[in-house]
Amino acid sequence: MDAVRGQVGIVKVGLELINAQLAGEVSESAERRGFDVFWDGKYDDIPTTVGKATKVVVSYRSNVTMINVHGSAGIEAIREVVKNAGTVQTLVVTVLTSRDTESTELDFGASRNAKVLGFARNALIAGAGGIICSAEELLFLKRYPELNALMRVVPGTRSTDVAPNDQKNVDTPENAIRNGADWLVIGREITTATDPASVARNLNERIAKAVAERTEGAKTK
């Protein structure tokens, strides 16, 4: 920066630098507490930028195990994340769970299912390991066996007594697991609880039961 002082009025602090500043501190803090990290950067930029941002994040700590990129960034951007992520799992965000059918059609010009399917196919083509979709799309995606190789990560699940807040596409954790979710992203139900440890423990017990039911169901088919 010193070299161009007086010649440049504003310095842009972009995705690569922002991630470089945060990644080391956050992942180290998580590692000290025994956690792996899902880097929820939701990248949506040109291929070069998302590739560089990915590279700086995964270079800091081995406990970063997942990283994501918006499907709307395009196949080339997804490929750059995959290439720079190495062994870190690349997840493609399909359509945010806060979007209803009307807003999806308005912004993307197609239904939720159509966009989720398109982004999932792009994820597969680009070599990503999985997708992020709502619980409501899980059964729909099962119609397309070519997508079975993609891990399903599902945010927006809620217990029946928990308010949906800004989520428009919700289901219970148990139903999401039974319908094919591999991972659940559970935030506010735990983070806003008076006793988060108790809530997390209860969720784990219910999820384990749903996994057992799904496994047993698969055996009887």
Determine the Cα angle at 99 with ends 64 and 77, to 5°. Answer: 45
Please pick, among 12, 42, 115, 209, the residue that the annotation labels catalytic.
42
CA of 109: how far to CAs of 104, 113, 205, in Å? 7, 12, 41
User: CB of 119 within 8 A of CB of 44?
Assistant: no
Give me 205's structure tokens.
Answer: 């017990």
Any long-range contacts for 212-219 (C-beta under 8 Å, 24+ apart)?
213/178, 214/177, 214/178, 217/178
- Closest to 167 (Cα-Cα) out of 96, 101, 71: 96
Gap between the Cα atoms of 36 and 121, Å rounded: 28
- 42: annotated active-site residue: yes
User: CB of 94 within 8 A of CB of 119?
Assistant: yes
Contacts of residue 221, defined as CB under 8 A and 6 or more positions apart, other chains included, come to none
User: CB of 120 within 8 A of CB of 94?
Assistant: yes
Query: Which residues are catalytically annotated?
Result: 42
